[in-house]
Amino acid sequence: MKEAQKNVSEVKKGYDLEIICSDKKKLYSSRAILAASSEVFNGLLYNGMKESYEKQICLPTVNSSVMKIILEYAYTGSIKESLTKDNIIEVYSAADYFQLLDLRDFVIKTVKNVLKSKYKYNYSPELLSRAVETMILSEDNILLNLLIEAVSTTPLNTIKFGRLSINALQYLLSCTHKKKKPFATPEYDVFRYSAILVSKGISNNTSKSLTKFLPTLKQLKQFKNSIKTDSKLIPNRQRIAKELEALVKFIDFRRIGEQIITDVIEPLEITPTVAVYRSNKTLDTTRGIPMKYYISS
């Protein structure tokens, strides 16, 4: 069987189905074996329509490297191919689409093991970025929820810029906005990370200039009143403000101290007036269930 699987992507002999993948590469397989592995494949290949009679099917959303893993699983019930940050999201999506539930569970188990590793080996920000780019966003998606929890409980200041995309950050903030979920980053640092991430997408000069006036919350406590912001020294302020809008609507400025708002945020001139968010109501500086109160089960 292993030798047969080796031939799936190499030769046509002995196979009655040609699969054209999204990257236009062709793979070969047995129609009967695929149909037996999944009700979705069975419905696709024996539906009485043209796919039931033609020797060729097109899978426009699955590339050949992922399809090889799907075929390996269909033939052997296991996979030897390594799951990496470059293919794990696509393999999960394909397993979910074809309703290969054991393979889907295996991917989830693999991701959980990765997330338990030390931070330098934990690529949850990259996985979330990839998932948001390629998957249908749903509250019922097990993998998405797993990644949201992993990134939520990681301080944003420890995630190097470039690892987490703007779209992934927006999805993270939307999923945790006004929700009782564990969260590790104070709201001011959420704003800081969002603003700098947006500025990095504009230019290095813009990012460097903005970063000078946006220290971390920990640094602010050390600097006290020594931060003097001159918005004229920040290029592309209007563009920053425009691109930051999608993130700002998921930031709760009521959780940021009034002095920080007046001395640090408002002088930047990259947000709408946040005076309306000032409140005498005592709120924790971190959204959801702040990590200092949260003990993971």
Q: Are strands 26-29 and 17-21 parallel, antiparallel or unpaired?
A: antiparallel
pLDDT score of 279 more than 90: no
pLDDT tens digit string along 57-111? 999 999 999 999 999 999 998 887 778 889 999 999 999 999 999 999 999 999 9
Whole-structure pTM value: 0.86
Residue with tokens 């426009």: 60
| Residue 200 burial by Cβ neighbours in a 10 Å radius (0-12, 13-18, 19+) | middle
Residue 19's SS3 state is: strand
Residue 289's SS3 state is: strand
- Mean pLDDT is lowest, of 22-31, 119-128, 164-173, for 119-128
Q: Where are the domains of the chain?
A: 1-80, 82-152, 175-290
Q: Do residues 121 and 61 touch, judged by C-beta distance below 8 A?
A: no
CA distances from 293 to 8, 154, 156, 184 (A): 53, 15, 18, 10
CA 166 to CA 186: how far, in whole Å?
18
CA atoms within a 13 Å half-sphere pointing along the CA-CB vector of 205: 5
Q: Which fold has domain 1-80?
A: Potassium Channel Kv1.1; Chain A (3.30.710)
CA 31 to CA 44: how far, in whole Å?
10
pLDDT score of 278 more than 60: no
Residue 238's SS3 state is: helix
pLDDT score of 297 more than 80: no
